[in-house]
Chains A and B, each alone.
Chain A
Amino acid sequence: MTTTQTKPLAPQPEVDTAPLKRLRRDRALLQAACIVISLFMLVPIYLISLAALSTRESLNDFPLSLLPTNLSFETLGAFLGSTGILGAFGNSLIVGIGTLLISALIGIPAGYALARFAFPAKEPYQLFLLFTRALPIVVLSVPLARLFLTVDLYDTTYAVILLHTALALPTTILISASVFLSVPIDVEEAARVFGCTPAGAFLKVVMPMALPGLAAASIFTFVMSWNEVLGASILTLDHRTLPAQVLTSLADSPLAYRFAGGFALVIPSIIFIAFMRRYLTNMWGSTIR
């Protein structure tokens, strides 16, 4: 028996190519399946872009052309020029950044404590964080609207920032805790040995290592705030965020306006995901548990 003869079941000279063919066919099917799913995800985005970038007349045609034959910025321009939209864009940015800053300010220290210290009520605290993730936004918005009315915060961006921070805080704490856990404690101790204060060790050694993860967490907070519709539209009247503005003007607006609105909401999320894509699985994987 020579060692080269690995197939004792193939005495015939012809090599059996069936398994190889089957393998190739399976690979091709896999590729095709991936492409089909990607198309399912992409085609709607293509179509909303097409609808938002078509002229108003071409949107009235039927059947609609599936190819970009009549591109123009007229519809989009009309949407951006309509009352309240630019202001709503600004409000969305303010609310998003405000939410990001406050939840980072409160959430990152708490996450650090969760990752590095043992403290008495740690278990209940973590359970509490998990529980708050299950709180529906709608449960908070209605009572908060009344509270904000009494303290004169109703219909301000601050009200929405506070609501969004409350919603984002548990996630921020859990994410930053997992980020700090991934920074080895040894480097921190080494810094202490060489004479850093605890705060100095945190700022000079831990923070630079944790920064990418924390930045990803912040983008996530921003996205959440950018997308939140219900709470923002309950808490404001004139200072609406973009989704709230689009939602409240849905009923009495032409289709072209709605498509442009949809497009304006879709584009930022593609950009967010492009920034975030390296962190997607890390973050969701480690935080949600």
Chain B
Amino acid sequence: MTVDSPPAPVQLDTPARPRRIPPAVLLIAPSIVFMALLLGWPVIQGVLQAFRGDEGFTLDYITRMVEDPYFWPAVRNTLLLIAVMIPLQFVFAITMALLLRSNPRLNKVHFFVWAIPLALSDLAAGLVWLSIFNDRGYLNSVLTSLGLDSIPWLAYDNPATLFLCVLVAEVWRSTSLVLVIVVSGLQGIPKDYDEAAQVFGATFWQRLRHVTLPLLKPSLQVALILRTILAFQTFAVAQALTGQNFPLVVGETYRWYTALQNPNVAAALALVILVASMLISVFYLRALRDKGQEGTR
């Protein structure tokens, strides 16, 4: 589980003490109250907002949401982005972590550089890549000076390059989170296993497949759940790079709330995200269960 507690300190309970509230309860009570008010209550309100009209229960907001021309493209884009990005960045992050483990020169510097995007918002990442991908940006400048034609990367009628740009920007930004989790997971694995396998003549791929990855599974599980949930919430990258041309579900929520001034449909969209996040976590926990249980610590 989350935190392994050491054996609880022996409480010298004198019978004279009348107080029955243990100190632990006093210490955690504020956090429970706070989270109930600001996490639990809004979720309940969100469900009500999405389903309650002027006269009781209604599906109006759901139908409006589904009939919006941007809704299905947004769902499709979000799922597509997740399906392509997650495997890609996991391969990337594991490669990077293994590179770091092989102790290259300047590995501290490399790790620092690779971790910088950890503290970047997706808005910042979108703006960074906007300077590269826009029509008169740096990428087209390079292409032109190499004598190639410049490509309208972010044109609305070019969905493939739109997707590619958002994908590159998101992979650039969010891989470092996976990297840091994988690196800390690798630090917890004694090198002996790997060396033993090496002594017995296992190739690099065999060691990766049968030794390192299975031992890394708990970390990967955590990273997978966290990254997928966060990936569902991607929107500012697309907003900064493409405006409305590459709709994502959370971006739609923002649009319904701010531009269209309809909090109810926005709440309905938010519920879509919530349900998707829950389902995906349960799916991962089930799929990766067998070893994740006792391996977590």
Interface residues of A (CB under 8 A from B): 27, 30-31, 33-34, 37-38, 40-42, 44-45, 47-48, 51, 60, 62-66, 106-107, 109-110, 112-119, 122-123, 125-126, 128-130, 132-147, 162-163, 165-166, 169-170, 173-174, 177-178, 181, 185, 189, 198, 223, 226-230, 233-234, 243, 246-248, 250-251, 255, 258-259, 261-262, 265-266, 268-270, 272-274, 276-277, 280-282, 284-286, 288-289
Contact = CB atoms under 8 A, between A and B. Distances in A.
A139 B273 contact: yes
Contact of A107 (B31, B99, B297): B31
Contacts of B128: 44-45, 47-48, 262, 266
B164 interface: no
16 contacts: A31-B105, A34-B104, A45-B116, A60-B136, A63-B144, A109-B30, A113-B24, A119-B28, A135-B39, A136-B270, A142-B263, A142-B270, A270-B119, A272-B119, A284-B180, A285-B187
Nearest to A39: B113
A161 B243 CA distance: 28
A132 B39 contact: yes
A170 B113 contact: no
Interface stretch (B64-72, B82-90, B253-261): B253-261
Interface in B96-110: 96, 99-100, 102, 104-107, 109-110
Given A128-B35, A162-B38, A269-B119, 12 more contacts: A64-B138, A110-B31, A114-B3, A129-B2, A143-B46, A166-B34, A177-B3, A227-B123, A230-B254, A258-B240, A273-B119, A280-B111
Contacts of B183: 281, 285
A122 B118 CA distance: 31
Nearest to B6: A185
Contact of B5 (A34, A115, A147, A189): A115
A63 B38 contact: no
B187 to A, nearest CB: 6
A259 B39 contact: no
B34 A165 contact: yes
Contacts of A138: 233, 250, 253-254, 269-270, 273
B127 A259 contact: yes
A247 B266 contact: no
Interface stretch (B191-199, B206-214, B224-232): B224-232
Contacts of B2: 114, 126, 129-130, 174, 177, 289
B152 interface: no
Given A130-B2, A233-B254, A47 B132 contact: yes
A230 B239 CA distance: 11
Given A37-B96, A62-B136, A281-B180, A140 B35 contact: no
A262 B136 contact: no
Contacts of B250: 136, 138, 230
B42 A140 contact: yes
Contacts of A63: 140-142, 144-145
Contact of A250 (B96, B240, B296): B240
Contact of B3 (A42, A66, A174, A189): A174
B74 interface: no
Given A170-B35, A265-B120, A136 B232 contact: yes
B79 interface: no
A37 B32 CA distance: 43
A133 B281 CA distance: 11
Contact of A142 (B46, B188, B233): B46
B27 A134 contact: no
B42 A198 contact: no
A102 B233 CA distance: 25
A160 to B, nearest CB: 12
A144 B42 contact: yes
A44 B169 CA distance: 10
A113 B28 contact: yes
Among A110, A133, A185, the most chain B Cβ lie within 10 Å of the Cβ of A110
B235 interface: yes
Given A106-B31, A107-B31, A289-B297, A234 B254 contact: yes
Contacts of B107: 34
A228 B130 contact: no
Contact of B124 (A42, A162, A266): A266
A234 B127 contact: no
B201 to A, nearest CB: 14
Which 6 pairs from chain A and chain B are nearest by CB? A285-B184, A262-B127, A269-B119, A63-B141, A227-B121, A117-B24
A137 B233 contact: yes
Nearest to B108: A277
A163 B270 contact: no
A132 B124 CA distance: 25
A269 B116 contact: yes
A212 B296 CA distance: 25
A265 B127 contact: yes
Interface in B145-203: 145, 172, 177, 180-181, 183-185, 187-188
Contact of B127 (A48, A116, A270): A48
B1 A126 contact: yes
Contacts of B100: 34
